[in-house]
Amino acid sequence: DQQVKQNSPSLSVQEGRISILNCDYTNSMFDYFLWYKKYPAEGPTFLISISSIKDKNEDGRFTVFLNKSAKHLSLHIVPSQPGDSAVYFCAATDSNYQLIWGAGTKLIIKP
């Protein structure tokens, strides 16, 4: 049973517009969430994270929102750039340092 779900396998967005990637989780014990970005033939790289005590965290063009009651988080990228085309993974942990990963969403930025 998947505890972290990314229901959209892929997403296509026009360059310059907002990209919104979604992630749902089932385990209410999760208290820290991370987004990673992965290019083909490379390992994932850490993008941004959020603790369960917050509902928003911003870093430049990237913002993560957390809705604990809905067990939902989202990653917003504004404005989207061609270099943002990649697979994005959502991950969660209950502070035992093991990450539980979603299946990933492939983001395609169209010029």
Partner 1 sequence: DVKVTQSSRYLVKRTGEKVFLECVQDMDHENMFWYRQDPGLGLRLIYFSYDVKMKEKGDIPEGYSVSREKKERFSLILESASTNQTSMYLCASSKGVKIEQYFGPGTRLTVT
Distance CA 98, CA 27 (A): 14
The sign of the CA dihedral 16, 87, 20, 78 is: negative
Distance CA 72, CA 64 (A): 11
Q: Which residues pair with 21 in a beta bridge?
A: 75
Answer for which of 13, 44, 63, 85 binds partner 1 (CB under 8 A) is 44
Q: Is 108 in the site for partner 1 (CB under 8 A)?
A: no
Answer for which of 1, 60, 70, 97 binds partner 1 (CB under 8 A) is 97
- Amino acid in the structure at residue 105: T
Q: Is 102 in the site for partner 1 (CB under 8 A)?
A: yes
Comparison of 4 and 77: residue with beta carbon closer to partner 1: 4
User: Which region among 11-19, 36-44, 55-63, 65-73 touches partner 1 (by CB under 8 A)?
Assistant: 36-44
Write out the binding residues for partner 1, residues 55-84 only, by CB under 8 A. none
